[in-house]
């Protein structure tokens, strides 16, 4: 049975999103699986659901322009009917709508006869993909020049299928001072297994372990997690730090550091024996970064609230290694962040590309000669990856990435050495671009 209070909250959130307002679920809402699920999944298929709604209203000779509250009701009803095959009586009850309400009842009955074959007749394959998979046409048009249509379709389907998030990755934090490390790991694994939580080691990143999403709440409540000995770490972010390959006694800059998972992994790889300068633009995120790193016992770090384009250093050529995991469109993260789909545009891309170019210029300036730079974005666009490096090849020497990374896109008929990509359909991660270079003398 659906929680009607939760449904009303979902309708309110959908109304806000429809109005173009910023939607942020509060802590209580995030703890409701029903609210999170229906809000995220309806947003995920926003354009597809609205396409069906308008087609159906038109076929009933009803006005297709409805107010935001009505549209929220139609969205929820259409999702329940089409995606979950819920009975009309149940949907009406969940929405507190009388069965005698002819308009919504007729709407749902008409949905049952909806024909995708008829609705998509005469449309191009790109238009069909955009409608069926609820993906902005801008996203498709931007990627068709660099990857095949079928491969693009595979990745889009992967990013739309919440079942692909069947597990998540964790790592052990051995900065707690508890030794020896192997004993700590064995104790944590044994403790979790006694509660039915099984950890499976990742094939590429030995420090990471996969855990079923069904066990996430159990793991979060576990004492080892609460104490900071066990950390949820996204695999793609771990791969970036692995590429950076930090060493003890080095001076390392993490230019866009919050929330701090990558920074803490740098400290772990170096046994807290490197000096880390971590920058973050927003004060609130800097406080979050501080709290995370303190909880995980990361030492020898200095946190700066700063615009990293103007990193506040007295000298240039200062760091042994620089990690720039730059702000981007998030076009590779739709599985976890469906709202980002509907921000994709030429303007949004240009804003991020301009910011990245400035950050890259600064990253090279603050890096020592022969220092190592890793540049990454959680984007599938060539503009936020390969093309950012075209004008920098005279300053940088390409270095090898992990062999299991996919090749980067060809630009002007050739690939840029030192770069690679992670694709959702191949690596079961977010879509990522990674570049690794040494600064020339």
Report the half-sphere exposure of 339 (CA within 13 A, side-chain side): 15
Give CA–CA dist 257/303, Å, rounded. 9
Give, in order, the Cα–Cα distances in Å from 382 to each of 120, 144, 410, 412. 30, 11, 9, 12
Count how many residues are written for the chain: 441
Three-state helix/strand/coil letters over 281-308:
CCHHHHHHHHHHHHHCCCCCEEEEECCH
The DSSP call for residue 400 is: -
Give, in order, the Cα–Cα distances in Å from 285 to each of 158, 236, 256, 290, 303. 30, 21, 10, 9, 11
**What tokens does 411 get?**
């630009």
**What tokens does 91 get?**
């949907």
Catalytically annotated residue among 81, 328, 378, 405 = 378
Provide the CA 272 distance to its chain's centre, in angstroms: 28
- Burial pattern 320-339, b for ≥16 Cβ within 10 A else e, equals bbbbbbbbbbbbbbbbebbb
Q: Which residues contact 42 (CB under 8 A, 6 or more apart)?
A: 10, 14, 49, 75, 76, 79
Write out the H or E segment, with its range, that includes residue 156.
helix 149-160
Strand, coil or helix: 412: coil
Residue in the block written with tokens 């992967």: 158
436 strand-pairing partners: 374
DSSP string, 69-115: HHHHHHHHHHHHHHHH---HHHHHHHTT--TT-HHHHHHHHHHTT--
- In the sheet that holds 167-172, the strands lie side by side as 200-201, 208-212, 167-172, 230-232
Annotated active-site residue 378? The verdict is: yes
367 strand-pairing partners: 319
What burial class does residue 227 get, using C-beta atoms within 10 Å of its C-beta: 0-12 exposed, 13-18 middle, 19+ buried? middle
Give CA–CA dist 71/94, Å, rounded. 16
Q: Which residues are catalytic?
A: 378
């Amino acid at each position: 049975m659906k929680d009607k209070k939760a449904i009303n909250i979902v309708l309110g959130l959908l109304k806000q999103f429809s109005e173009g307002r910023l939607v942020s679920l509060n802590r209580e809402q995030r703890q409701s699986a029903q609210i999170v699920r229906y809000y995220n999944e309806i947003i995920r298929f926003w354009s597809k659901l609205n396409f069906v709604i308008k087609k159906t209203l038109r076929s009933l000779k009803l006005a297709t322009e409805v107010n935001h509250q009505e549209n929220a009701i139609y969205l929820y009803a259409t999702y329940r009917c089409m995606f979950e095959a819920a009975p009309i009586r149940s949907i009406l009850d969940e929405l507190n709508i009388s069965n005698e309400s002819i308009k919504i009842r007729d709407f749902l009955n008409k949905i049952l006869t909806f024909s995708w074959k008829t609705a998509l007749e005469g449309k191009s394959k790109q238009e069909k993909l955009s409608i069926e998979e609820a993906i902005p046409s801008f996203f498709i048009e931007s990627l068709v020049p660099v990857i095949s249509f079928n491969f693009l379709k595979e990745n889009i389907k992967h990013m739309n299928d919440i079942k692909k998030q069947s597990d998540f990755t964790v790592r052990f934090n051995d900065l707690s001072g508890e030794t020896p490390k192997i004993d700590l790991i064995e104790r944590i694994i044994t403790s979790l297994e006694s509660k039915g939580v099984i950890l499976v080691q990742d094939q590429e990143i030995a420090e990471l372990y996969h855990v079923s999403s069904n066990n996430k709440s159990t793991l979060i409540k576990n004492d080892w997690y609460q104490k900071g000995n066990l950390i949820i770490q996204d695999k793609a972010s771990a791969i970036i730090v692995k590429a950076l390959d930090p060493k003890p006694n080095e001076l390392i800059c993490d230019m866009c550091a919050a929330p701090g998972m990558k920074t803490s992994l740098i400290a772990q790889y170096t046994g807290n024996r490197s000096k880390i300068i971590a920058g973050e633009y927003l004060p609130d995120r800097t406080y979050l970064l501080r709290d995370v790193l303190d909880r995980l016992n990361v030492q020898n770090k200095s946190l700066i609230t700063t615009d990293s384009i103007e990193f506040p250093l007295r000298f240039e050529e200062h760091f042994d290694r620089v990690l720039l995991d730059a702000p981007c469109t998030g076009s590779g993260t739709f599985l976890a962040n469906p709202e980002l789909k509907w921000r994709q545009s030429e303007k949004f891309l240009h804003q991020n590309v301009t910011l990245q170019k400035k950050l890259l210029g600064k990253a090279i300036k603050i890096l020592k000669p022969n220092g190592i730079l890793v540049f990454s974005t959680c984007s599938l666009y060539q503009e936020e990856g390969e093309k950012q490096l075209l004008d920098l090849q005279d300053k940088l020497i390409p270095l090898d990435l992990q062999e299991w990374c996919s090749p980067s896109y060809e630009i002007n008929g050739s690939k840029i050495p030192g770069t690679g990509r992670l694709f959702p359909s191949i690596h079961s991660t977010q879509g990522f671009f990674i570049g690794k270079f040494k600064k020339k003398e």
